[in-house]
Structure 1
Amino acid sequence: MGEIQKNTDAMGRYLKWAALVFAFCLLACAIFTLVWLYGVKIQTLVDCVSHLKDRTKKTEKRNGFKHDASYIKDCVVHVAKRDVRGTDTGGLVSEAIRNAIGAVYIRWGKKTCPSTAELVYEGVIGGSLRRSGGSGANYQCLPLNPIYDTYVPGNQSRARMYGAKYKTNHFSPLAHVDETNPVCSVCRVKSRSTVLIVPGRNQCPADQWTREYYGYLMSSHHSHKRTEYVCVDRHPESRPNSGRNRDGALLYAVESRCDKGTLPCGPYLEGRELTCAVCTM
């Protein structure tokens, strides 16, 4: 009986150790599997963000600071499917994606960006000669450091780019910059993808929007060649020592006309200068 008891005890101890080893192996396998799967998820997300940044840079170079919205959407959906919300690494990935997503706008009349945005570059406003019937119809924010490729010296019969000028002598809020050359800046805001220019109001339409800047709506004179409407900052700046009377592309404040037009005479008052706001969301 004693020998049988000893064998039974030994078998019990063996089974206990075997059970512990088996449980340890299961735990180790589970941990390894979780680490591997989690690592695959995170690496996939990191690769996604890295790919996103590369695509964004290529798109910016090709299209001029425009972002590939379709790929951004795909990447965000991909991140959501990987389901790493609530983890530190997931938060870092989400932050990286938010930084990669952004909206770009031009701040007309200022060489700096608001505190809500980062400066892409500063420049000067250019456009077509006011009496010219050709070249471009829109204003341009020209960088201060142009890069030329192959060129032909001298003036040929081609399209032309001129500097711009404020024509605000009879509009007191902007009279101090009359006959000077306006500046501009290209700005980028992170985590937002939509830019809205609101004509006729210096506020955004709802609290969900962020006002980047506000000012006055400006364009060419009604008797000159047609250009476009732009929102010029309420406190405009100009290039130093640029007060020479040489016309190029001109900027006038825009007045509302309701008595001889089709604007509703009630909210819009005859001869009032129109304000504007640039908003993002």
Structure 2
Amino acid sequence: MGDFDVDWLRLRGPADERARAADLPVLLRAHLAKGPPLKVLDLGCGTGSNLRALAPALGGAQAWLCLDVDAELLDRLADETQAWAQASGFAWDATARRVTGAEPRLDCTLTTRRFDLAPDSAELPIDGIGLVTASALLDLVSETWLTRLVSQCAKARAPILMALTYDGRVAFEPALSGDREVIEAVNRHQRRDKGFGPALGPGANARLAILAAAQGYWVEVRTSDWRIRRSERELQSALIRGWSRAACEEAAASDQAAIAHWEAVRLAAVERGCSRINVGHRDLLAIPSRA
């Protein structure tokens, strides 16, 4: 289901935070029912970055059910949320797992559950949920899995907010002649089975837009590209090494040396502090029709 260990989530966190489309939660908030707490289902929650980004933007009373198959990530979620809450001026009740604040007004409880998303989205606990959300998940899932998810959300009339879905675009500064070939190989690799069946990869966000519109959703899409700074050397190096490995798995034996050379030149540019990378992502909000 992809490599989402604690170190990687830490590395990508600042880029994720900068990239998110800030207006989509605002649009969503206008369509949410007033009154009872908003019940949010967070798919593949990791250590809770989606909650930390969305909860203050949505405001009010919220109850989050955070699902992930990785017990280590779930174990860290409360500690990460406590540290964030205290740094942000919110109060944290460890016993109730509750974040509260007056400005912005927030009363958010969180529940975690170990849950393997891969076998079948039909088993997801969507009944009664007021928002289904995920971050950096959709490019891993299959057409069949996503179709079932959208169908379930439509049946429950639940809005959908999916953030930071990779869309296949990568731009380097400075550019190298091998960039296009490596990223094309990476994008082919992205479509391999990541545990859900053949992955949608860079086409996932566009496919979700089509499926949601077919179910009567109003759909808004925003770019949410990573713009990785020269100073973010650790993140750049991790990406370059990961892309090199993926490209080698897709490439012919005769191309392995060229990919290794590309990696070495790219890493040298990172070390010199003259490398910047933009990685294409998209955020999508789908609101069910009022009819």
Superposition TM-score, scaled by structure 1 size? 0.20
Structure with bigger helix share is 2
Superposition TM-score, scaled by structure 2 size? 0.20
Whose radius of gyration is greater, 1 or 2?
1
